[in-house]
Amino acid sequence: MAVIKKNKKKAEFGDFQTPIKLAREVCSLLLQHGLEPVSILEPTCGKGSFIMAALEFFPDVHNVIGIDINSEHIRVAGSALNKLGPPSASIQIMNKDFFTVDWSCVLESLTDPLLVIGNPPWVTNAELGRIGSCNLPDKSNFQNRRGIDAITGKSNFDISEWMLNKAIEWLNGRQAALAMLCKTAVARKVLHQAWKSGQHLKRSDIYHIDASRYFGAAVDACLLVASTSLSNGNFDCRVYDSLKDTSTTVTFGYRQERLVADVTGFERWKHLEGKERYKWRSGIKHDCAKVMELRKEIDGYRNGSGELVDLEDDYLYPMFKSSDIANGCDLQPARWMLVPQRIVGENTRQIRKLAPRTWEYLQRHAQLLDRRASSVYRERPRFSVFGVGDYSFAHWKVAISGFYKKLDFKVVGPYAEKPVVLDDTCYFLTCQTKKEAFFIAELLNSDIAKDFFSTFVFWDEKRPITVNILRRLDLLALARELGMEETLKDFLRQYTQNHEQQLLFSESVLGS
């Protein structure tokens, strides 16, 4: 019981204390950066590793403030510092909550050059919600995340991101630097936010660290180092494989109001950015695989709960998931998806008449379907799905998985005379013919297209390939580069005509 309580507390406060060895390596690196702080602030100091290492490496420091919510950690930090002998600097270690500290007062008491150093808690608001903790900032709608993210329930954020956004703001207008351990994705978001809000950063660097070695955590983590400039800002961040590396692996940055994963590649290929000629789509979202995904057997279909059911074919479609797309969809689809609508919002009551056994099956599992949390299903016809439209039923598609760490576009053709549908982990564009699909896949799988997409993809993201990235490539500009412009133009003419017909189709379905 005591162990469970201890683990819960560790999770709630993201409590992974930094080993002194790592804290020293970080300070040694900061020394090489030329930092000479006279004030140190550790806003979640824990047992004080960073404070001790900073005192060793920066002998000119005369003011140190460390804060932590855990009184036991504060006691341990205090006694470790006492053991160092009479301090040459003024050191205040305080037991306080980051979210209620009067930071302007703390910051006023520290003279420049200031170094904000540390390792904020590694925990997300979703994890805190699960364990019923309120170790959170006041504002529940973090950074005003709204729109589709909030609707689909994706508005999850790291507590450290919130803290780091604050900490980087503290540097504004000062001669100051920040050095923090955090998840690599968090470091990027924090820089993005700082660049977007016009903060002047003189230099930004990310050094990958082996989180499993130091913290036993299987996450992509790094040291983020950022320093301020009182004049013009710089919008690049150099990335290094480790704290010891002196040559960069890549430089990402902020260009044309968004993050670019590789600024050199971007400069080379930015002329290919432009109009979305073929519309990129997401697969169908249903959030209920147990009911909506079935395997075909001799005697019927078996659903995700192992139940053998007898359904009409009308609403069943062969399907591919991300793993099928990534592993080669020349295989036969192993699953079938029950798709009760042809378009978002279509009335589902007609299923009762058209396919009574399917209707009875949906009724029988209505509880599970009604319980789906995402608000996309709210105030929609019962058994609704999302991300469905005429495009879902196109016989030829060129698809990619959003989750796989590979730029590999696959042609998906029909199976058993039915279109193969995709789930919402995949993106695709539609084609009218096999020839067209193979031609578009050839363009998208060309080295130039891959180089172009690579300038935007951050491979450590959970879903590295997004529809926003796919939409950036102007296929016509790419075809021109590859000497295939005329063929594409022919296909595009037919595509545009077909697209107009599809719009008419959608209107007629919703009107019926």
Ligand X SMILES: C[S@@+](CC[C@H](N)C(=O)[O-])C[C@H]1O[C@@H](n2cnc3c(N)ncnc32)[C@H](O)[C@@H]1O
In the complex, the residues that contact ligand X under the rule CB under 6 A are: 13-18, 44-46, 49-50, 67-70, 73, 97-99, 118-122, 135
* Shortest reach from residue 31's CB to ligand X, in Å: 18
- Distance CA(161)–CA(89), nearest Å, equals 30
- Distance CA(228)–CA(170), nearest Å, equals 10
Nearer Cβ to ligand X (67/171)? 67
| Tokens describing residue 127 | 């994890």
Bridge partners for 397 per DSSP: 412, 430
Q: Counting beta carbons within 10 angstroms of the beta carbon of residue 173, is it exposed (0 to 12), middle (13 to 18) or buried (19 or more)?
A: exposed
* Shortest reach from residue 67's CB to ligand X, in Å: 6
* Shortest reach from residue 23's CB to ligand X, in Å: 7
CB 308: neighbour CB atoms within 10 A?
12
Q: Does the N-terminal peptide bond of residue 464 adopt cis geometry, omega within 30 degrees of 0? A: no
Nearer Cβ to ligand X (217/484)? 217
Nearer Cβ to ligand X (182/284)? 182
Nearest residue relative to ligand X (C-beta): 46
Return the H-helix or E-strand segment holding 189.
Answer: helix 184-196
SS3 44: coil
* Shortest reach from residue 153's CB to ligand X, in Å: 24
| Tokens describing residue 382 | 């019962």
Cα-based distances in Å from 330 to 64, 326, 403, 407, 413: 63, 11, 19, 17, 9
Cβ–Cβ < 8 Å for 474, 269: no
Nearer Cβ to ligand X (12/423)? 12
Nearer Cβ to ligand X (118/340)? 118
CB 134: neighbour CB atoms within 10 A?
9
* Shortest reach from residue 163's CB to ligand X, in Å: 8
Instruction: Give the residue carrying structure tokens 């341990």.
Output: 76
SS3 144: helix
Nearer Cβ to ligand X (5/353)? 5
CB 269: neighbour CB atoms within 10 A?
22
Nearer Cβ to ligand X (96/499)? 96
> Of 229, 231, 249, which Cα lies nearest the Cα of 240?
249
Bridge partners for 92 per DSSP: 65
Nearer Cβ to ligand X (142/235)? 142
